[in-house]
Amino acid sequence: MTQDPLTLYKLIVLYMLNRVTFPLTKAQVGDFILEREYTNFLTLQQVFAELTEADLISAKTSRNRTQLLLTDEGRETLSFFENRINSSIKEEIDRFFDANELEMRNEVSVLSDYYKSVSGEYEAHLRAKEKDVTMVEITLSVPDEDTASAICANWQTRNQDIYQYLIEKLF
């Protein structure tokens, strides 16, 4: 029995999201699927849209990053149809996560965003999480957008140093 390729791509996305305990970004899922040439970028965007529309995944976008989470309905759907994913594809996904899971978890655990406040200043909102626990959350008010953007960019690379500094100074 042949299978609709779009259905297979959807099942791969569901399997990937079920494989981890943290959200994955569209880019992370896309890197895996596109590097292996399972499908193209436009078809993958259609897969994300259809899975979201069917409430099998939820998508949360902040700035230029969209995080994907498996819903209960998605988990249930996967349990019914997971056997339609070839075992070699599952093994490839498992190897991918074995090699990249820590880096991927860190990438989605450090969050930053900025916005213009009602006072006219910009607020840079910074957060670092481990699993589902927020380790540190900071909001800084700054005079302009460029400064807020720079703070957010620096948070991505310096968050561990800043967290360690705060722990040392506060304890």
For the chain, the first-to-last Cα distance in angstroms comes to 63
92 lies in the same domain as 137:
no
Domain that holds residue 71: 5-108
Question: What CA dihedral angle connects 89, 94, 98 and 99, to 10 degrees?
Answer: 10
User: For residue 14, what pLDDT is reported?
Assistant: 97
3-state secondary structure of 147: helix
113 lies in the same domain as 103:
no
103 lies in the same domain as 151:
no
98 lies in the same domain as 120:
no
| Pairwise CA distance, residues 58 & 14, whole Å | 11
14 lies in the same domain as 97:
yes
CATH code of 83's domain: 1.10.10.10
Could you say which residues of the chain have pLDDT below 70? 1-3, 63, 131-132
99 lies in the same domain as 135:
no
98 lies in the same domain as 133:
no
Tell me: the pLDDT tens digits for 57-77? 999 887 677 889 999 999 999
Tell me which residue has tokens 């339609």. Answer: 84
CA distances from 108 to 40, 47, 61, 131 (A): 24, 21, 12, 10
100 lies in the same domain as 139:
no
Average pLDDT of every residue of the chain: 90
| Pairwise CA distance, residues 91 & 134, whole Å | 32
98 lies in the same domain as 31:
yes
Total number of domains in the chain? 2
69 lies in the same domain as 25:
yes
| Pairwise CA distance, residues 9 & 22, whole Å | 20
